[in-house]
A and B are shown apart, each in its own frame.
Chain A
Amino acid sequence: MDRLEALEAQSVYILREAYAKFKSLVMLWSIGKDSTVMLWMARKAFGGHVPFPLVHIDTGYKIPEMIKYRDKLAIELGLNMVIGQNKQALREKNTFPDGKLNRIECCKALKTTALRNTLSGEWPRYRLDHHKKKYVLDEDKEPYTGVIVGVRADEEGTRSKERYFSPRDKNNDWDVADQPPELWNQFKTDFAPNTHLRIHPLLDWTELDIWLYIQKENIPVTSLYLAKNGKRYRSLGCYPCTKPVDSNADTIAKIVEELRSGKFSNIAERSGRDQDKEDGGGLETLRLDGYM
């Protein structure tokens, strides 16, 4: 059993445990490569099907190709797609850069707050109607109690402290100092009312593992990752805060090479994400607060 097979086996195991234990389970799909691999892993776990809703928090600032790709794949695979959005902040221009907020505040409003209220069911959710091929208001307002998130431990400091099953209290807060024990693949699956759990099937994966797996399984990812005119996105987000990197890697094989021994073998993946740089430990601040 090689490294990728072992990683896959563990991720599938975690997804199946989550499915068995949570009645109200969803997977966050950011449209990026990691959560798309995770989506693929769900199909591995459940005989080709994805038996829970996929939630996307649409900031309204996503690179347009991402949204196009999302809906194309959702229709192709018959996914149960749910969208949440901070409509008020967008309407009142409480955003960055064309509003009053700085990058971190904008992330908080469009992602963290939108996510929190979409998960709790307090804000409207929009579900993809596969007959009409468009999003319609979702009647279901039940809070989601199990939330599958595609974070990897190697992304940055805070994420490396995560457990596979990580509790959040009713304010969405994460107590880094007092985490539940996790041993022998026994996870925290019992939880008090008003709390929910984040589930992290990709915790042990590295950026290189993700690309090797995409290559091995031939997973469809958005073409934004492939170089055009000497530029490609290494990490996807909102266009005001995500810059493409200089690269000529226009195939998956070239991306793998670039990460393995080429120009990116020693440069952090999120180096193109500006919100990480602002506020020093910006991401940690966001994360303690419920950011993905």
Chain B
Amino acid sequence: MRAEKEQMNIVLVGHVDHGKSTVVGRLLADTDSLPKGKLQQVKDYCKNNAKTFEYAFLLDALKAEQSQGVTIDSARCFFKSKKREYIIIDAPGHIEFLKNMISGAARAEAAILVIDAQEGIQENSKRHAYMLSLLGIRQVLVAVNKMDLVDYSQERFDKVKQDFTGFLEGIGIKPRDFIPVSAREGDNVASNSKNLSWFKGDTVLEAIDHFEKEPLPEDKEFRMPIQGVYKFTNLGDDRRIIGGRVETGTLKAGDKVVFLPSYKTSTVQSIEEFNVSGKKSISAGESTGFTLTEQVFATRGDIACKASEPPPYVGRLFKASIFWMGKKPLELDKEYKLKLTTSEAKVRVTEITGVLNSSSLESAKAPEVKRHEVADCVIESKVPLAFDTFKAMKSTGRFVLVDEYEIRGGGIITEPLEDEESATREQISLREQKWDPGSIGFRERSLKYGQFPTLMLITGPSGVDKKSIAKQLERTLFDQGRSPYFLGIGNLLRGLDADIDKERRQEHIRRLGEVSHLLLDAGLIVVATASDLTEPEIRLLRTIINQDFIITANVGDFTNGNGVIDVFLDENDGVEANANKLLGKLSSNNNIFSR
């Protein structure tokens, strides 16, 4: 039974056979953390089977331990010091290091890196250290083990220390201690050693007590990735609760919030937590919820931020360091699913700038990233994402990559890059910040009209009849009691756009976007046609108008890019069939619903 002492997760890493399990065995034995009689039992077993007892056997024995209520498993064991309780995560098999180890190490707050004094620094000493650095574990202690095999030589210890310090510095790790130990003999693990009387520093047990609990990041900018928007009107509850966990910062009722990547803004009306009353503010670490004064469109995957604080980046392009766990290598230009906090996006790696040799730290360009490799690359997302750099904000600066149902890789964002819509996004950000909403909210309008405001944008080669489909759809929607509006691009050209040249296509597109944006704010379903739209143009429209509010259709072949068309229509199917297909899309997307 665990007491309610402070807890800390520590991961043990190092090269194979450098004595990690022996260190853990020693720590457990010397702090009296083993079940009663376990030590003797294992010693007896060794004696009876003509084996030399090793402390590492204790771990194997504990792993086999079943159903006695002792909290031990293949990856985790527990022990207490005077100061706190530790959960030790021991690295299992090395081939599986990344998959299983990262699952454990990602939860660790500190690490003990074990190096064999005799063998010195090996491939995995470096690889594991690099993984620690990538996972953001900054508190590291290096135990130089098996000192008994080098006659407790200070010279040997100093050599290992000197060699490794340089390497660790290169990857941004400054170990808080280097400790000469012999786990087998018990020197400097839980107690001081006469054999190492030249060493004046802490034992391993003392040193880990000096690790510090990382404070919750309450003083950073507020970030709450939305997990869901909860409304239970059918249960007589009219609240619309924005739910999520606060990753960083604090927020209180009355604060102005901005949702990214959409830039929609509103104000916090109340903090909502079940069985808690009178709560006025929320802060890092809490799974919580709040309601808004103006009901703007916010959805799962958006990050709620405070309007008064520096926002995260919004964009489709960034540099990242990734590690790969998939059996099949990571390929250039292949589509993967990226998950960053609660947002998801289809992405591809457009450039592998370097696959890292974790030993020499030299990186070389490569066409793919193999299993267990680490690489720097450029990632492009199909839709804009809100993110931070990992260095600035851990939790909103890291992601995983999913392929064929499985998480195959993880990564940290090192640098945002400009994409084609960056400038437009700046302008949209200003527009939304200063937006003066009417007295009727988005949700109120939406419920009244029985529709989600949508731009149904129909494109295709010029000469193909798109307008008839658009007008047919408008008619059908209207006859169903909806509120559609056909927006003819020609009506804009000779009206709003009369002041600009026909050649300034991008400006025409921008104006189409802004006009649609107004009509959508009025709650309408806008059916618009425009010939020969290209991928960048559609992206521009998706930036001006929240991407959730736009559906694109193409009549005929689309040769102007990839991944931007939602519905493909064949002219030969006829106007009515095509209009019905679009109607079906609106319905299956829940853009139209019963009131």
Please report A residues at the B interface, Cβ cutoff 8 Å.
Answer: 1-3, 5-6, 8-10, 12-13, 16-17, 19-20, 43-49, 51, 78, 153-158, 160-161, 163, 179-184, 186, 188, 190-192, 206-208, 212, 217, 259-260, 264-271, 276, 280-281, 283-284
| Cβ–Cβ contact B406 & A51, under 8 A | no
Most chain A C-beta atoms within 10 Å of own C-beta, residue among B76, B102, B230, B395: B230
| Cβ–Cβ contact B227 & A13, under 8 A | yes
Kindly list chain A residues whose C-beta atoms are within 8 Å of the C-beta of B100.
Answer: 179, 181
| Cβ–Cβ contact A183 & B106, under 8 A | yes
| Cβ–Cβ contact A186 & B400, under 8 A | yes
| Cβ–Cβ contact A259 & B287, under 8 A | no
Kindly list chain A residues whose C-beta atoms are within 8 Å of the C-beta of B69.
Answer: 154-156, 267-271
Kindly list chain B residues whose C-beta atoms are within 8 Å of the C-beta of A47.
Answer: 230, 232, 237, 239, 241, 243, 272, 274, 289
Q: Compute how far the CA of A137 lies from the CA of B221 in the bound complex, rounded to whole angstroms.
A: 52
Q: Given the known A-B contacts A47-B237, A156-B66, A281-B67, are A186 and B339 also in contact in the complex, defined by CB atoms under 8 Å? A: yes
Q: Given the known A-B contacts A16-B243, A188-B407, are A43 and B275 also in contact in the complex, defined by CB atoms under 8 Å? A: yes
| Cβ–Cβ contact B2 & A184, under 8 A | no
| Cβ–Cβ contact A260 & B99, under 8 A | no
Q: Compute how far the CA of A207 lies from the CA of B102 in the bound complex, rounded to whole angstroms.
A: 27
Q: Which residue of the partner chain, among A3, A180, A183, contacts B4 with CB atoms under 8 Å?
A: A3
Q: Compute how far the CA of A181 lies from the CA of B100 in the bound complex, rounded to whole angstroms.
A: 6
Kindly list chain A residues whose C-beta atoms are within 8 Å of the C-beta of B103.
Answer: 163, 179, 181-183
Q: Compute how far the CA of A212 lies from the CA of B4 in the bound complex, rounded to whole angstroms.
A: 10
Interchain residue pairs A-B with the least CB separation, the first 7: A268-B69, A160-B73, A183-B106, A12-B287, A157-B66, A156-B67, A16-B227
What are 10 residue pairs bridging A and B, where the CB atoms are less than 8 Å apart in the complex?
A: A1-B286, A13-B227, A13-B245, A20-B227, A20-B228, A48-B237, A160-B76, A163-B103, A190-B337, A206-B1
Q: How many A-B residue pairs have CB under 8 A?
A: 161
B386-422 vs A, Cβ < 8 Å mask (1 yes, 0 no) = 0000000001001110100111001000000000000
B300 CB–A CB distance under 8 Å: yes
Q: Compute how far the CA of A188 lies from the CA of B404 in the bound complex, rounded to whole angstroms.
A: 11
| Cβ–Cβ contact B67 & A153, under 8 A | no
Q: Given the known A-B contacts A47-B239, A161-B73, are A19 and B228 also in contact in the complex, defined by CB atoms under 8 Å? A: yes
| Cβ–Cβ contact B273 & A44, under 8 A | yes
Please report B residues at the A interface, Cβ cutoff 8 Å.
Answer: 1-4, 7, 65-76, 98-100, 102-103, 106-107, 216, 227-228, 230, 232, 235, 237, 239, 241, 243-245, 272-275, 285-287, 289, 300, 325, 337, 339, 342, 395, 398-400, 402, 405-407, 410
Q: Compute how far the CA of A111 lies from the CA of B68 in the bound complex, rounded to whole angstroms.
A: 22
Most chain B C-beta atoms within 10 Å of own C-beta, residue among A3, A154, A260: A154
| Cβ–Cβ contact B275 & A157, under 8 A | no
| Cβ–Cβ contact B235 & A49, under 8 A | yes
